[in-house]
Amino acid sequence: MSLADCRLVKLPKITDPRGNLTFIEGEVHVPFTIQRVYYLYDVPGGAERGGHAHRDLEQFLIAANGSFEVTVTDGADKRTFSLNRSYYGLYIPRMIWRDMANFSSGSVCLVLASARYDESDYYREYNEYLQAV
Ligand code: T46
């Protein structure tokens, strides 16, 4: 996998005077079967998250509220995505290192994942990741 495989995906947005609605279907809007959903919230100002890559896991990140930045690298190139709309998501394939920062107050990062939680799927040491790629 390379950085070019990381991409922003525009999601359906049903606008309505009662409030907007966005939906996500596995294998339609995200290129995997959704096995797990989790979310990051109450992130204190200045906190950074991520700092790892996954051997097999694919993920899709959405700023369900507020904004934050995701910097991704494949060990060679680097790119930063700003997530600040709840109808856009960032697809991150396997073997991409990610760092997350600049969370706005009250932001919520919703994550769809292709597998259940498995700590052995993580590279948490950048040098180990670099050797693997
Ligand atoms: C990622 C970014 C976007 C679980 O027990 N189950 C889970 O499903 C997850 C995601 C985490 N955990 C435990 C593992 C750690 O003891 O929660 C603790 C915090 O996890 P971590 O430090 O990995 O959290 P983040 O926010 O740095 O990273 C998470 C995901 O782990 C990661 O895959 O891409 O969100």
pLDDT tier for residue 1 given thresholds of 50, 70 and 90: confident
- Cβ(41) to ligand 1 under 6 A? no
Q: Which atom of ligand 1 is nearest to the CA of 109?
A: 3
The token pair that represents 58 in the structure block: 């694919």
pTM of the model: 0.97
Please report the atom of ligand 1 found closest to the CA of residue 124. Answer: 23
Over residues 19-69, the pLDDT tens digits come to: 999 999 999 999 999 999 999 999 999 999 999 999 999 999 999 999 999
Which pLDDT tens digit goes with each residue over 92-130?
A: 999 999 999 999 999 999 999 999 999 999 999 999 999
The catalytic residue positions are 52
pLDDT at 33: 98
- Distance CA(78)–CA(64), nearest Å, equals 24
For the Cβ of 115 lying below 6 angstroms from any atom of ligand 1, the answer is: no
Beta-carbon-side half-sphere exposure of residue 12 (alpha carbons within 13 Å)? 10
Ligand 1 centroid to Cα of residue 38, in Å, is 9
Atom of ligand 1 nearest to the CA of 119: 14
The kind and range of the H/E element at 128 are: helix 126-132
Query: Taking a C-beta distance cutoff of 8 angstroms, is the pair 64, 39 a contact?
Result: yes
Cβ-contact 109, 61 below 8 angstroms = yes
For residue 73, what are the β-bridge partners?
78, 97
Question: Tokens standing for 105?
Answer: 């107050």
